[in-house]
Structures are given as structure tokens and as C-alpha cells.
Structure 1
Amino acid sequence: MKYFAALSPMKDEEKSKAYREQHLDFIKEKREEGSVLMFGRFTDGAGGLVIYKGESKEAVEALVSQDPYIVHGARYLQLHEWDMQTDYTIN
């Protein structure tokens, strides 16, 4: 399983407000399914971040493209594979 950081910078603040509940429902559903590891908004209002789990970047991109924020043009999408570390290794 791979991890992917989906950054969603603000594109349209009004659309973000309008689709917020649908977006949160989407994230809740994907978290319950096991596709979302963690999520949160940026406190400066610039957007948010979701850490997804998936087999490939293409699979996660297809999943994220269903998020109401992306579907309705409220947010941009930047998707990066993330190498999650759970401990420190000093070389």
C-alpha cells in the first residue's frame, strides 16, 4: 500500500463554502472505507490536505477526482506520493 498527499489549494472560496458538507461527507466515507489516513484544513484558509492510501497514483487520482471540491472546481488538486516515516533512522 502506498500513501499520497493530496493538497487542495483554494480555487473558489464561495464554491468551497457551498460544497463543504458534501466534501466532508466524501472524506468521512473514504476514511470508513480505509482510503483516507488523515485530513485537515490549513488554518490560514489556503486549502487543506488529505493523506490517501492506494495501490497507485492513478488509482488515488481517480478516487480524489470524485471529491465534490474537485468536481465543482472549488479547489485545485496537487497529488504527491508520500513516503511516510514512523521512526527515525540515523545514518
Structure 2
Amino acid sequence: MKFIEYATPNAGKIKQNDININEVVKQHVAYLEQKNAEGLLVFAGTTTDGAGGLIVYDVSDEATRNRVVQEDPLYLPEVIDIAIHPFETFEDITSR
């Protein structure tokens, strides 16, 4: 099952909570590299204006989806808004 994770930072809350977002992003990138090596990462990218980032994962079940999201160093609900949605690629749709 594929899903997207769209993360949107809240700059005001990041500053209020004194979070070193650059360090968190480094840890997040290392985490994505690990998920890629495990074959779970389909796509990842960030907006060039700092508005957020999009990740597409392919996992076996909902429990794995929840674990993958919650173990990500970027999973900081107090400062990062994260939306998760089921997802199909164009290839998924046209290969039915």
C-alpha cells in the first residue's frame, strides 16, 4: 500500500520550541536513505520555497505505515504539520 506524507513546517512554533531544524533535516535525510535501502521509499522531495516536503512510501500494512512515519526524526507534531493519505501512482492506475 502506498501513501503520501506531506510535511509543512510551522516556522513560528519551531522558533518558540528552540528546535535546530537544520539538524533535524539532516537526521531526516539519513532516515530517508535508510528507508530507501529497505525498499520502502518510492519518492521524496521538498518545495523550493520552504513550504514543505512530500514523501511517497510503499509499505505492507497500516501498522508499518504508522511506524515509518512516527520513527522519522521529522515527526515533530508540535512544530511540523503532517498529512497522510493513501496514494496511487499513474502507473498503478493505468496498470489495472
More off after superposition, 10-19 vs 42-51:
10-19
Pairwise CA distance, 1:88: 7.7
What 5-or-longer segments of structure 2 have no aligned partner?
none
Equivalences, count:
88
Superposed structure 1 runs of 4+ greater than 4 Å apart = 71-74
Pairwise CA distance, 1:43: 1.3
What 5-or-longer segments of structure 1 have no aligned partner?
none
Q: What is the TM-score normalised by the length of structure 1?
A: 0.81
Question: How much identity, in percent, do the aligned residues show?
Answer: 24
Sort the Cα spacing of 1:86 and 1:26 in 2 relative to 1 into closer, same or farther, 3 A: same
Aligned-residue RMSD, C-alpha = 2.3
1:5 corresponds in structure 2 to 4
Q: Deviations over 1:14-43 (max 9, x none)?
A: 542231110000000000100111100011
Letter matched to residue 86 of structure 1: E
Q: What is the TM-score normalised by the length of structure 2?
A: 0.77
